[in-house]
Amino acid sequence: MGRPAAQEIRYIAVVADRRGAGLGRQIVAAIQSDLPAHGRTLVVGTANSAIDNIAFYQKCGFRMHSVRRDYFDYIQPPVEEHGIVMRDMLLFTYDVSPAPDRSS
């Protein structure tokens, strides 16, 4: 049987007035803890201008994987966040650590 494909987080959100209370981290941690049953890699994408999201996913253990340049070009007029034009999608991955070898 082949290795399961990477799983993807499409959308998660916490209501603005509840942010900073650890709810988002709890949601992601629950998804991460369930991951070994569904594959070894979790993928999430966010806009290059979404500074808070970029920091959040890295704090949750994700690593930057790749950039989809000009991914958001279809959005007209262009959107800005933090004074940065939303252009590219940054992809992050979280890989489950291999289980320790307990044979010895």
Q: pTM for the full model?
A: 0.83
Give the residue among 80, 1, 34, 79 at the shortest CA–CA distance from 9: 34
Q: What is the pLDDT of residue 51?
A: 96
Backbone phi, then psi, for 56, in 5-degree steps? -55, -50
Q: What is the pLDDT of residue 37?
A: 83
Indicate the pairing of strand 41-47 with strand 7-9: parallel
Q: What is the pLDDT of residue 59?
A: 96
Low-confidence ranges of the chain (pLDDT < 50): 1
Q: What is the pLDDT of residue 56?
A: 96
